[in-house]
Each structure stands twice: as C-alpha cells, then as structure tokens.
Amino acid sequence: MQAVHNIAEICARHGITDVVLSPGSRSAPLTLAFARHPNLMVRVVPDERAAAFIALGMAQVQRRAVVLVCTSGTAGLNYAPAIAEAYFQRIPLVVFTADRPPEWIDQLDGQTIRQHNLYGAHAKGAFEFPVDTTHAHAKWHAARIVNEAINLAQAGPAGPVQVNVPLREPFYPKQGEEIRYEQDVKATRELPTRPQLSTAVLRELLDAIRSASRVLVVGGQHPADKELLQELRKFAAAFQVPVVGDLIANLHLPTPSDNEHTLCPFGRQDIVMAAPDQNLKEALKPELLITFGQSLISKALKLYLRNAQPAQHWHIQPAGAAADTFQSLTKVVSMEPVDFFASLLAEESRRAEDSTEGVQAQNPRFASPSHTVAQDATRVAKSLISTTPLTPSSNGQLEAVSSAKVEYLKPWLAAESRATGFLQEFMQQPRQPFNEFTAMYRCLQALPDRTALHLANSMTVRYANILGLPSKLDIEVFANRGTSGIDGCNSTAVGAALAQPERPVVLLTGDMAFFYDRNAFWHNYLTPNLRVVVFNNHGGGIFRIIDGPRQQPELDEFFETRQALTAENTARDFNLRYFQVSSFAELESALPVFFALETGAALLEITTTSKINAEFFEQYRAAVKVAFA
C-alpha cells in the first residue's frame, strides 16, 4: 500500500490542502492515507452527490484543486452531476475512486461496476492506478499518474480528472501500524504560462477597434478579478466602448479606479432586451463584438446577439476550445482577458507616445509631459457621459473621438439609465401583494459587504440578474451555470462557507432546489458564516412564468409539481437558526437579525403564493413594455 499512501503526500506537495471523502470499506487505504496526513484538511460528507458539490464550492473560491475520495460501485456515479458542472465551469477537482481489482469486474462481486473512465466526456482525463506496485517501475508509474492527474486538473482550462484506484484486500493496517509517507516521492509541477500577442497582431486588433464604429464588449460567467475590471474599465473609457455583463460575470465589483472610469458595466440588459422598441435594438447592434468568460444568464441578450450577426466576433480565453455561442465567431484570442485589455492599452499608449514625439520633433511648441491612454480615460468617459464630443489633444496623444462611436454609446447609456430608473420606481411602488420578486429585491439590498453570494438555478438566478446588487458593495457572485442544474446549489454554498469561514456566504434558492439538495447540511462541520434564504412557493414556479408549460392543463401536476414541505424541519435537523416570513413587514424585521454576524448559521424561509408571484411578474413585464414603448 506504500504507493497508495504516497498519493496523499504528492497531493500535499502540489499545494492541495482540502480533501472531501465519503465513508466506505474499499476506499479505506485512501481514506487513512489522507486522514493521517498532517498537511491536509479532510472532511467527511456521507452523501457522495453533496460531497462532490461541496468540493466544487471549495475549489471555486480557493481557485485550486480539491480532492474527492469515494468507495467503489455507485458511489462514484453520484459524483457525476458535480463533475459535469466542474467541467463546464472549468473548476479543478481530483477524484480518486476506489475500485475492485480488474479480475473481479463483471463477476457479480459486490459494489462492482465498470469504473474506468467513469465520467466520459465530462472529465478532462481518466487515469488507472496500477493494481500491483511492488516493482520499482510500477511504483514510479503510480506516482507519475498522480502527478499527471493533478497537473491536468489545474492546467488551463482547468477541470475534473478521475484516478481509478483498484485495491486488493487486506485494506487496513494492523493495530499499531503507522502509515509512512516517503520523502523521496517526487511532485512534478507543470509551470503556468501567460501567452502574449506580438506587436504586429496588437496593432492589427487596435486598427480594427478604431475603424469599427460599433464595438461592444460582453462578459460571460467569470471569477471576480479586480485587476481585470480595472483594465476593462480603462479600455471602455479610452475606446468609448460599452461593456455588458450578467451578475455572474462579476463586473459590478468596486475597484480603486471607479471614480475615474464610469462606463463599465451595463447590467440592465434583461430589461432593455425586453423592451418592444425595435429602433432602440437596432441602435444597440454591434459591428465588432468582443467576449470573454463562460455562459450568459440572459437568454434575451444571447438571442439578441445571435440575431445581430456582428461582422466580427472575437472571443478571449486563455486555453481550450472556444464556443461559437452567437454564431458569428471570427477570432479566438488565446490569452487571459486581463492581459488582452492591458496589452491593447499599453500598445495604444506606445503609439500615442510615438505620435507625440513626432509632433514635438517637428514643432517644439507642442511639447508637453507624456500621458497614457489610461490616464486620459477619465476625460473621455466624462465627455461621453455628458454626450459632448471630444476634440483631439494638441499633442496627438488621443486621436479624435469618432462621432459614430459616440453615437453608438449614447443609446447604451440612455437605455441603462432609463432601465435603472424604471426598476427603482417599480420595485418601490406601494401596496404590492407579497411576492418573491420584490422579496428578493429587498434581500439583495440588505446583503452584507464582502458577501460571497450563491444563486441557485431556476428563477432565483434569473430574478437576481434582473434586479442587480447595491452599488459600491464588494459582493462576489457564484452560480452553477456550467450545467445550470438544481442538484447541488446548497452543497456548493456549503463548500464555500467551509473554505472561507471568515467571509459571509449567502445562498438564495427556491424551494425545489433547496429540498432536492438537503443532504448538503448532513455533515459535522460548523458554518457560522452561512445564510440560506429559501423562497418557498411550494412548487416549480418557473413553469408558471415561462411560455409553454403555463398554457398546458397539466401545469399543476406534471410541471410545477406542487409540494407542501417547509424548511423548518431541515433547519432543526441541521442546527440552523430558523426564520419564517410571509409579509413585507416580517421580512424587513427579520433581515437585520438574519444577516447579523452573531446570528450564526441561519435559514430564512420566505413563503409566497405561486399564482400571485406569476401575476406580479407579468405586471413587471407589462410595465417594462410601457416604460420603453
């Protein structure tokens, strides 16, 4: 078992700190190796599906690989939903599945299935650990496999990998026998790289940006990155480009340069795209579309961009195959988005300095201290917001602002401002029936600063994308939008709370997603920083809102799937402080106590009526059409 025990040592040497395992007998050698290692934090979660999503949540916030360990048989299959989510979200997981030795596969032996390449196309790789490691070469092979698996999981694009470990009995060490970790075992590291573009390519891209009158940047799901935001906001101001992003793009976060650069982001696309004004939509169509990140929440924006068919579409990502989501892809730029925007700004600054030196050489009267495009961005942004065209600077540092670019930016600015004003007025109207849309708005407005906000799938993430977040709060947003399932939303938030105990973690979820994943709380670890808000309308309310199922006579029984559960028993079972509200007055009274630091782990159940929710949301939709008619 020495080669098996060395697995834990290799993981630790790669900087892995967290292991999530579920109990089992066949996996005992792996369990003991990880549990006894002094540099690893091992947590036990009995339900494998919940365990995998908890590991995903930990890896998501830590931005490094987390290890999963399970026994043989269907245990590994229960990891599958989280493995698929990690694959499409590009989150590194290293999965060790204990197995029967190969001679006993398909021989009616207990807890035995075909585990080789268990996750198929939804894992980056599948490795088979040697059955017999007594020979020195086999032992070297075993260590090599573990190194390769960890490197593959963390290399861009990151993702899950499986290491299947066949194990023969006896599994357990004798009483008093110590597990030894060999110190000469090697950790082979794959060093990260950051691709850069040549000067010639940068100039080609800059020329295309300058010549295009309608340039639009759209961010898909992306981890919070304040360095990226700073460069993106400078780029937006310097080149007069609107930047649009869903909440999960995390473009809303404050940065030190916010007072200087105010054109990024635009976040009211769900409202704007729901407007019936075709002239407005025509005015917003891009000629050059630049995208980065993963999926969009906003179906309306996605369909709009598909129909817009921009002449050029560049997608920026560091590695991997690029999706042609809008059916217009013309360039894939293989680099980090932050490097892409910073490189363009740096090259533009060099070009401006060269131009300035040329002017000064010809006429010394125009000599002045040099500036960069990024420094001039403030002036550009203020001029555009006031809709006053800029004039070229005398020293040629910043070229004349294209009037066409200004004209393209104006409707984006106007639509964003109009949508924001409309939303504030609509949500604050008096005498509303108690409904989940307004209740969520008030929950979002009450979030503590520095919150890690987890949004469950179905209506929760859609509502939040429409409503947005309070300005100037440092709230990072997470959602399982890789596969957009409801199966692990609770568990992912629990994983985040375990990984970052010093940070408030808030989960907003519907009743179906919440009850589907109750085993997320079935473990023995404290999460005093976790707050769970359950919007309970006693069914799948989304089917009453989207076209198609709501027109069917089978809606109640076969789509909405009515249920009578409340979250009170779950809160009691797992020691979560329980709050229940069914009116705006009760909600306003509960929120300050619920979010207070001293409250500890807590669950707030907001009980509404599905039909009233659907009727109120229809009122909202109708009001959008009137406001933008």
Whether residue 603 sits in one domain with residue 526: yes
Q: Residue 31 is which amino acid?
A: T
Q: How far is residue 215's CA from residue 240's CA, in Å, rounded to a whole number?
A: 8
Whether residue 397 has pLDDT greater than 70: no
For residue 394, the number of C-alpha atoms closer than 13 Å in the C-beta half-sphere is 8
- Between helix 48-62 and helix 489-499 the angle, nearest 10°, is 50
Q: How far is residue 582's CA from residue 531's CA, in Å, rounded to a whole number?
A: 18
Whether residue 504 has pLDDT greater than 50: yes
Whether residue 351 has pLDDT greater than 70: yes
Residue 259: the pLDDT is 52
Within 8 A by CB and 6+ apart from 169, the residues are none
Q: What is the pLDDT of residues 302-337, one digit of tens each?
A: 999 999 999 999 999 999 899 999 999 999 999 999
Burial of 175 by CB count in 10 Å (0-12 exposed, 13-18 middle, 19+ buried)?
exposed
419 in a structural domain = no
Question: 141: which 2 tokens?
Answer: 């092979």
SS3 content of the chain, % helix, strand, coil (to 5): 45, 15, 40
Whether residue 189 has pLDDT greater than 70: yes
Cis peptide before 310 (omega within 30 of 0): no
C-alpha distances (whole Å) from 143 to each of 31, 148, 223, 589 are 17, 9, 32, 57
Q: What is the pLDDT of residues 532-570, one digit of tens each?
A: 999 999 976 676 666 776 677 766 666 667 788 999 999
454 in a structural domain = yes
Quote the mean pLDDT of the chain: 89
CATH (domain of 84): 3.40.50.970
Question: Domain range spanning residue 111?
Answer: 2-166
Residue 550: the pLDDT is 67
Q: What is the pLDDT of residues 207-247, one digit of tens each?
A: 999 999 999 999 999 999 999 999 999 999 889 999 999 99
Whether residue 271 sits in one domain with residue 146: no
Whether residue 593 sits in one domain with residue 468: yes
Whether residue 203 sits in one domain with residue 102: no
C-alpha distances (whole Å) from 97 to each of 28, 74, 129, 162 are 11, 10, 10, 7
* Percentage of residues in the chain having pLDDT higher than 70: 88
Whether residue 150 sits in one domain with residue 65: yes
The confidence band for 257, taking pLDDT boundaries of 50, 70 and 90, is: low
Within 8 A by CB and 6+ apart from 183, the residues are none
Whether residue 360 has pLDDT greater than 60: no
533 in a structural domain = yes
Residue in 6, 42, 7, 4 with CA at minimum distance from that of residue 181: 6
Question: 312: which 2 tokens?
Answer: 């050029």
302 in a structural domain = yes
Q: How far is residue 453's CA from residue 447's CA, in Å, rounded to a whole number?
A: 9
The confidence band for 356, taking pLDDT boundaries of 50, 70 and 90, is: low
Neighbours of 125 (CB within 10 A): 16
Whether residue 224 sits in one domain with residue 149: no
Q: In this structure, are residues 77 and 49 in contact, taking their beta carbons and an 8 Å threshold? A: no
Residue 385: the pLDDT is 40
Which residue is it, tokens 């938030």?
493
Q: What is the pLDDT of residues 263-300, one digit of tens each?
A: 668 999 999 999 888 999 999 999 999 999 999 999 99
276 in a structural domain = yes
Whether residue 211 sits in one domain with residue 151: no
Number of compact structural domains in the chain: 3
Whether residue 499 sits in one domain with residue 524: yes
Q: What's 541's DSSP letter?
A: G
488 in a structural domain = yes
Residue 399: the pLDDT is 44
Which residue is it, tokens 């268990």?
118
Whether residue 406 has pLDDT greater than 90: no
What backbone torsions phi and psi does residue 416 show, to the nearest 5 degrees?
-65, -45
Whether residue 12 sits in one domain with residue 157: yes
Least confident residue range of 58-72, 121-135, 370-384: 370-384
DSSP E strand boundaries for 257-381 = 288-292, 312-317, 331-334
Q: How far is residue 272's CA from residue 249's CA, in Å, rounded to a whole number?
A: 18
Residue 471: the pLDDT is 87
176 in a structural domain = no
